[in-house]
Chains A and B, each alone.
Chain A
Amino acid sequence: MKIKDIIEILDAEIMCRDDLLEQELHTACGSDMMSDVLAFVKEQAVLLTGLVNPQVVRTAEMMDMHCIVFVRGKRPRLDMIELAEDRDMVMLCTGLEMFTACGKLYEAGLRGGSGK
């Protein structure tokens, strides 16, 4: 799945790095608890979260993630957008709730990092 497909599936708005939408991604993780994201090293390319603070971008950076999706209509602050932009990450916003957003992406072929 490409990032541009995620945008279409989630009816998402692009916050930054619209030059990286052709990236091919296969895995995702949904969590509001950053320690949990950091606890399991898997190849997770997309982070879906309802948490809005700069540590979301930092966590994604440490885990080599390529795309952050804010769910439930949450909006990142400018300093977060700038950080993501600098770290080559695409940032998206969707009005969908976490469960629905994850379900739609799973249905379309995106999987958890374990491949299950």
Chain B
Amino acid sequence: MESIKLHYDVSGVDFTRAGAASGDVKRVLKQLGVSPVTTRNVAVAMYEAEINMVIHAGGGEIDVEITEDAIRMVLQDHGPGIENVELAMKEGYSTAPDNIRSLGFGAGMGLPNIKKYSDEFRLETELGVGTTLYLTVYMK
């Protein structure tokens, strides 16, 4: 299989559109015949990251590469950066405002969920510059 590359611009203003990129990738993987477990792991990890981008960073960009052995995702934003990564990785810790909680998110499960569903997880963040997530899910 030749590698497939996908690119998405995620709007930071339209919360209702959040998840459209993840849904699209999920459909592509399904069409390619990727296993349901792998497809769901990619979909959930990417969806939580996409929601994070919209909630915290005013949107961003997502690049996805699908190869024979893995799906690699790079999610980059130019938001405020994460002040305390260790805290942000803790289940239940959230800096999301109340209006986000009323939308069903902001429970402090985003980053822990993303890590749980990824086989490789790397987070780079710089205050005032932005955050980039590098995620890999192996084909299973």
Contacts and interface: CB of A to CB of B under 8 A. Distances in A.
B19 A53 contact: no
Interface residues of A, number: 22
Contacts of A41: 40, 44, 117
Interface stretch (A8-16, A17-25, A60-68, A102-110): A60-68
B22 interface: yes
A39 B18 contact: no
Nearest to A51: B104
A56 interface: yes
Contacts of A59: 19, 47, 104
A64 B36 contact: yes
A53 B16 CA distance: 7
Contacts of B104: 32-35, 49, 51, 53, 55-56, 59
Contacts of A53: 15-16, 103-104
B119 to A, nearest CB: 14
Contact of B109 (A35, A51, A63, A64): A35
B26 interface: yes
- Helix, strand, loop or mixed for chain B's interface? helix
Contacts of B108: 35
Q: Name the residue among B40, B47, B110, B117 with the largest chain A CB count within 10 angstroms.
A: B47
Given A34-B105, A35-B109, A38-B109, A58 B48 contact: no
Contacts of B105: 33-35, 55
B135 interface: no
Contact of A35 (B18, B23, B40, B107): B107
B26 A62 contact: yes
23 contacts: A33-B105, A34-B105, A35-B113, A36-B109, A38-B47, A38-B48, A38-B109, A41-B117, A53-B103, A53-B104, A54-B16, A54-B19, A55-B15, A56-B104, A58-B23, A61-B23, A61-B26, A62-B19, A62-B23, A62-B40, A63-B40, A64-B36, A87-B23
Interface of B: 15-16, 18-19, 22-23, 26, 36, 40, 43-44, 47-48, 51, 103-110, 112-113, 116-117
The 10 closest A-B pairs by CB, nearest first: A58-B19, A34-B104, A35-B109, A35-B107, A62-B43, A54-B16, A51-B104, A62-B47, A62-B44, A39-B109
